[in-house]
Structure 1
């Protein structure tokens, strides 16, 4: 089966040509990509968020030293690349990765990476992936979900033991200037469906005006839509996911999530004129935002861009599974996914809506009266007063 491909400059040789951009993690490579570049990563079990970042950056092809799907769980990144028409080659190995130097122009064809030129030597070779291969491997990975769930149980128990004061009693959660008590709150995360979900909740956002909590660069998306996040949560270990300085300065609160025993990274924000609050936890930044809102006793929490299904949770990898699971249990029924909002909320009834209903009822009443003898007499009298008797 032929791989789906994007439109690229035509050459006499088959395959796709482009400049290599190399790195360990897909997110870091995506930040350096220009449209038409070939991404080289060392990323086992490519997740959907990382794949979406590569697609949005315009990757012409993705080369991976590791397997795209290891079989541990059904990760969603390869499907994202296939749907966008981005060819993939995986299992290049460490030797193949070492041969692919940043900035070099290469040609990718049939699982091989060639040096530039008609007589270009093979620099690296791996496995070309198509939709049938990916579908078969994902089906096999789904059969191992029981093992992953058992692992989730163990890691959740370990996390709860380490951070029971935080998860059970809210100790260590910073107090923000923003108040959540009794208010509707919207937590916005940079998931693959972020823009579509923001479009879906636009009436709710406009009419209910919830407190806005944005995680990482999702704050930039809100800013682009004319919305100022009240609280911005950033990961101290992931500077690439930080929003713009203007957005950080405009927020009422900036919270930095940091792993226990690690530097907070707050100094870099302070140099920008931002005084952040430090939230020490091994939970992910997304889960830290939810815990922050929960500690503030928000009446309702709408999650935009959050991971909602079992496969979405597993796609994040083992590191964030336990905190995701325990955080969702903590919030319980107060957490509503953005996809459910259009079904549950149809918009607020405004005075103009009531006026239109009353006007329609009045017109219907006048029409009914006009066909009665009394109504006809009234019309004749009105016509005489207006001097229209002869015309009627």
Structure 2
């Protein structure tokens, strides 16, 4: 850094918003920002979050697609008109993100400059990511998919063998106010198609009134759909303060040794919580908790189930998910993608019956009431006169 920029046309100029965690950045990101992330293999959920914030330019300190697997995030951003750059010569660190946060910046000829001490200062070189370059990487990753899958399965089975005893034991006892015994439970995770699936299951939720569990940001997904979560389970890194203060019971997922960084945030908000040390992911813990509280049925929305799902989360295996789903068995129903299988629609027959139901009382009134009959006769006569 230190090279002053000469006079030339700016290709893009805005304030920088930077964070090593994309989901944290999206909480404060606006359309007038240049977003700087450090997110290898940007996934669809991260891409959707960036799009919802209206961002126009995204700089990534890591490759948008490494070629490890066919990640879809970069393609989705590009097809929605977002300009993407990869940063070429900056060391990834918290200090860099903190230093550049809030600075006024511009991009010119694949170089990033910031306005510092009354002059433009060169920060780093950039490489623009294009649709053809992403497609090339995507095809390379797709060709290696069998090898990636083989490695993923080996890793899953290895850790499943090592961790099985942890999942055979019951969870630590948590005295919940939320009763799940012999009730349906819906566990919502912000995974692929969670919005569509939540909308598709709205009739089921209205009819059965299940216990609603939001896994971290899943609580916000429930609130956005018009529901209040009964229980929030997670490490509390992606759920909003609004959801935490909604009145839901809070269970902080802790490491097996009892360390629970998420409690710091909960205490700062002055909220009560339970701490639950457990292995696996927070969505695994939410399912196990419902199972051990004797829920009649557990329905998951947006849960991670496939290899791509877990690779997108930076995991090289899914041992805990395999063990949890094997343990819960037939009580578990995964609603992921159900919106693509079934899309509720109002048929013409239903509308016909609604119209008939509305006309019946009107017709009855006309038949019974002589004044109404006389009024209708006068309107009919007037219409015939006008028509002639």
What is the Cα deviation at residue 88 of structure 1?
A: 0.9
- In structure 2, the partner of 1:316 is 313
1:43 aligns with 2:39: yes
What is the Cα deviation at residue 323 of structure 1?
A: 2.7
After TM superposition, the structure 1 stretch with the greater mean CA deviation from structure 2, 319-328 or 211-220, is: 319-328
Q: Aligned to 1:294, which of 291, 294, 311?
A: 291
Does the aligned pair in 2 maintain the 1:200–1:342 contact within 8 Å?
A: no
Does the aligned pair in 2 maintain the 1:26–1:51 contact within 8 Å?
A: no
Q: Distance in 2 between matches of 1:56 and 1:159?
A: 36
Q: Aligned to 2:14, which of 18, 21, 30?
A: 18
Cα 1:330–1:86, aligned 2, differ >3 Å: closer, same or farther? farther
Please list the CA deviations of residues 130-165 of structure 1 after superposition, one character each: whole Å capped at 9, or x if unmatched.
222212212211222333333333433454345423
Cα 1:180–1:165, aligned 2, differ >3 Å: closer, same or farther? farther
3-state DSSP of counterpart to 1:126: strand
Q: Distance in 2 between matches of 1:319 and 1:243?
A: 28
Equivalences for residues 1-392 of structure 1 within 5 A? 13=9, 15-94=11-90, 98=96, 101-109=100-108, 111-115=110-114, 122-172=122-172, 174=174, 176-235=176-235, 238=237, 241-244=238-241, 247-248=244-245, 250-251=247-248, 253-261=249-257, 263-265=259-261, 266-270=263-267, 272-318=269-315, 321-333=318-330, 334-340=332-338
Does the aligned pair in 1 maintain the 2:191–2:303 contact within 8 Å?
A: yes
Runs of 5+ in structure 1 lacking a partner? 1-11, 348-352, 364-392
What is the Cα deviation at residue 200 of structure 1?
A: 1.6
Does the aligned pair in 2 maintain the 1:165–1:171 contact within 8 Å?
A: no
Does the aligned pair in 1 maintain the 2:16–2:102 contact within 8 Å?
A: yes
Does the aligned pair in 1 maintain the 2:223–2:243 contact within 8 Å?
A: no
RMSD: 3.5
Cα 1:147–1:284, aligned 2, differ >3 Å: closer, same or farther? same
Q: Distance in 2 between matches of 1:91 and 1:268?
A: 32
Cα 1:42–1:267, aligned 2, differ >3 Å: closer, same or farther? closer
Does the aligned pair in 1 maintain the 2:254–2:275 contact within 8 Å?
A: yes
Does the aligned pair in 1 maintain the 2:250–2:272 contact within 8 Å?
A: yes
After TM superposition, the structure 1 stretch with the greater mean CA deviation from structure 2, 83-92 or 141-150, is: 141-150
Q: Distance in 1 between matches of 2:142 and 2:323?
A: 23
What is the Cα deviation at residue 46 of structure 1?
A: 2.2
TM (normalized to structure 2)?
0.74
Please list the CA deviations of residues 88-127 of structure 1 after superposition, one character each: whole Å capped at 9, or x if unmatched.
111423259859822222223553324569x956532232
Count of residues paired in the alignment: 337
Please identify runs of 4+ aligned residues in structure 1 that moved more than 4 A: 95-100, 119-122, 245-249, 341-347
Runs of 5+ in structure 2 lacking a partner? 1-7, 361-388
Q: Distance in 2 between matches of 1:294 and 1:79?
A: 39
TM (normalized to structure 1)?
0.73
